[in-house]
A and B are shown apart, each in its own frame.
Chain A
Amino acid sequence: MKLTFMLNGSPVSVETPPDRRLVDLLREDLGLTGTKEGCGTGECGACTIRADGETKLACLMLAAQAQGRDIVTIEGLSPVAGPLHPVQESFVNSGAVQCGFCTPGMVMSIATHLDAHPDTDGDGIRQAVSGNLCRCTGYQKIVDAGLTAAGLMKNKGGCRG
């Protein structure tokens, strides 16, 4: 089937079997390997993307469900050669990246959360990433990064990405 949707700010049109998983379409057909698959059953959050402004799991979405939607992956959160999104910048500076495999999903979850909850706190960040498993960090610096990013985003006055 032919699918048309917005991907990272640009319209795309792809021909794909309708029951193909979105995570496979993104990674294999579109070369966007930033969205990871850690389990395939919605348990780890490594495949978190944004669809119409909300976080969803690409491993549990059919490509067909992307039709007409506004999809943002980690690659689209900030301009390719441009500055990092405040959440990305905070992850770098707060030491929140270890192996980095959970990082794209974490960043998507936190960035989306901060857009809706600029005055969040540590518990709010933990809630926001409650669907993203990390095996390396114990979540502490991820929470720190989220709080730092919240501060940055408020100073810059408004939403990003």
Chain B
Amino acid sequence: MAEVLFPTCLDDARNLLVCSDAPALLAGGTDLLVQMRQKRIQPRTLISLDRVEGMQEIGQTDQHIFIRCGVPLARVMDHPSIRAHAPVLARAIADLGSPQIRNMGTLGGNIMTASPAGDTLPPLYVLDASVDLAGPEGFRRLPLAKFITGPGQTALASGEILWQVTFNKPDPGAWHWFEKVGQRRALSIAMVSLAAMFSLDSHNKLSRIRLAWGSVGPTIVQSRETQDFLCGRPLEPEVLEKACDLARAAVSPISDIRATKAYRRDVAGRLLMRLDQAVQGEN
């Protein structure tokens, strides 16, 4: 039998984390309870973040957006700031799990699970998101791309709690695109996913493009080569086809029960072919 504790402030949560017997942090529970059922982790203390003051806030300043790690995914998806400034993230969440899972699961939880297939991660990477970690000594900030270090692995230090995700508001004229390829259309772990954010200049050429792929490497994959190639070029099929090859070279997928290595590599490239749909209003 595990104890369940409900700290009401971050300090208490941090203290409990340090003092408790075999603790695990509980946010939405959608990953944690499944792992407990499979006996992959067997905590003796569950520290719920449900009632920690501030954990449920989401908002914006002039420059940036912050999402505390206890915010359920459904609220992130529906939040006006996210809809206005980060539709790539909203789109990704819309494909995540199911309505119930989105009501329960949190953005923080999705980050901490750090699955290479985590649906919120490619969008957060293209948004250049950072994470703020609350430890016994105080806060520190890391780029998300540095925070996630491997499949299911993060740079969270002992006694630290993920506090919030932040990112700068992207260029308001930027186009957002997200596509997840799953085995079915809901309740499906991604076989391959692609998040993209790009701007077009007055000549309709790509002036800035950020890409991030899920499920094709130990962590989210980004490709400077592919981005550099695309920059300055028009968003046309012939261009995208060449970019596909660069993308295929950039990813390092494995085969598992959901997909083969060959499929993942191929489709990681092919997904770029749909980027032109982002500007055709089919977002």
Tell me, yes or no, whether A and B come into direct contact in the complex with CB atoms closer than 8 A.
yes
Q: Please list the residues of chain A having a beta carbon within 8 angstroms of any beta carbon in chain B.
A: 1, 17-19, 21, 40-43, 45, 48, 54-57, 59-62, 64-65, 67, 109, 113, 127-128, 130-133
Contact: B48 with A65, CB < 8 Å? Answer: yes
Contact digits for B215-253, partner A, Cβ 8 Å, 1 yes 0 no: 000000000000000000000000000000000000000
Given contact pairs A54-B103, A113-B99, A131-B101, enumerate 6 new A-B contacts (beta carbons under 8 Å): A18-B1, A42-B98, A55-B100, A62-B4, A131-B97, A131-B100
- Partner of A17 from the list B1, B29, B97, B98 (CB cut-off 8 Å) is B1
Contact digits for B6-23, partner A, Cβ 8 Å, 1 yes 0 no: 100000000000000000
In the docked arrangement, what's the CA distance between A42 and B50, Å?
A: 19
Contact: A67 with B6, CB < 8 Å? Answer: yes
**B209 interface contact, C-beta 8 A:** no
Contact: A45 with B37, CB < 8 Å? Answer: no
**B41 interface contact, C-beta 8 A:** no
Contact: A41 with B37, CB < 8 Å? Answer: yes
Measured between beta carbons, the chain A residues less than 8 angstroms from B100 are 42, 45, 48, 55-57, 109, 131
Contact: A56 with B104, CB < 8 Å? Answer: yes
Using A64-B4, A131-B97 as known contacts, say yes or no to A56 and B48 having CB atoms under 8 A apart: no
Measured between beta carbons, the chain A residues less than 8 angstroms from B101 are 42, 57, 131
Contact: A55 with B6, CB < 8 Å? Answer: no
- Partner of A130 from the list B2, B29, B37, B99 (CB cut-off 8 Å) is B99
**B279 interface contact, C-beta 8 A:** no
The 9 closest A-B pairs by CB, nearest first: A131-B98, A130-B186, A18-B4, A19-B2, A64-B4, A54-B103, A60-B33, A131-B100, A55-B100
- Partner of A42 from the list B2, B30, B46, B186 (CB cut-off 8 Å) is B30
**B3 interface contact, C-beta 8 A:** yes
Contact: B99 with A18, CB < 8 Å? Answer: no
Using A57-B100, A131-B101, A131-B187 as known contacts, say yes or no to A42 and B34 having CB atoms under 8 A apart: yes
Most chain B beta carbons < 10 A, residue from A43, A48, A55:
A55
Residue of B nearest to A63 (CB): B4
Q: What is the distance, in angstroms, from B178's C-beta to the closest C-beta of chain A?
A: 17
Measured between beta carbons, the chain B residues less than 8 angstroms from A19 are 1-4, 46
- Partner of A1 from the list B4, B33, B186 (CB cut-off 8 Å) is B4
Contact digits for B31-55, partner A, Cβ 8 Å, 1 yes 0 no: 0011001000000001010100000
Measured between beta carbons, the chain A residues less than 8 angstroms from B114 are none
In the docked arrangement, what's the CA distance between A65 and B103, Å?
A: 14
Using A57-B104, A62-B29 as known contacts, say yes or no to A131 and B99 having CB atoms under 8 A apart: yes
Q: What is the distance, in angstroms, from B53's C-beta to the closest C-beta of chain A?
A: 15
In the docked arrangement, what's the CA distance between A67 and B228, Å?
A: 52
Q: What is the distance, in angstroms, from B274's C-beta to the closest C-beta of chain A?
A: 20
Residue of A nearest to B75 (CB): A54
Using A1-B4, A130-B185 as known contacts, say yes or no to A61 and B97 having CB atoms under 8 A apart: no
Measured between beta carbons, the chain B residues less than 8 angstroms from A132 are 98
Q: What is the distance, in angstroms, from A102's C-beta to the closest C-beta of chain B?
A: 13
Residue of A nearest to B2 (CB): A19
Measured between beta carbons, the chain B residues less than 8 angstroms from A55 are 99-100, 103
Measured between beta carbons, the chain A residues less than 8 angstroms from B104 are 56-57, 60-61
Measured between beta carbons, the chain B residues less than 8 angstroms from A109 are 99-100
In the docked arrangement, what's the CA distance between A64 and B29, Å?
A: 12
Most chain A beta carbons < 10 A, residue from B3, B74, B99:
B99
In the docked arrangement, what's the CA distance between A75 and B3, Å?
A: 30
Q: What is the distance, in angstroms, from B137's C-beta to the closest C-beta of chain A?
A: 30
Pick 12 A–B contacts, CB within 8 A, sort by A: A42-B98, A42-B100, A45-B98, A55-B100, A56-B100, A56-B103, A62-B46, A64-B48, A65-B29, A130-B187, A131-B97, A131-B101
In the docked arrangement, what's the CA distance between A127 and B30, Å?
A: 19
In the docked arrangement, what's the CA distance between A119 and B235, Å?
A: 37
Residue of B nearest to A67 (CB): B6
Contact digits for B186-199, partner A, Cβ 8 Å, 1 yes 0 no: 11000000000000
Using A17-B1, A18-B3, A131-B187 as known contacts, say yes or no to A41 and B34 having CB atoms under 8 A apart: yes
- Partner of A18 from the list B2, B34, B97, B185 (CB cut-off 8 Å) is B2
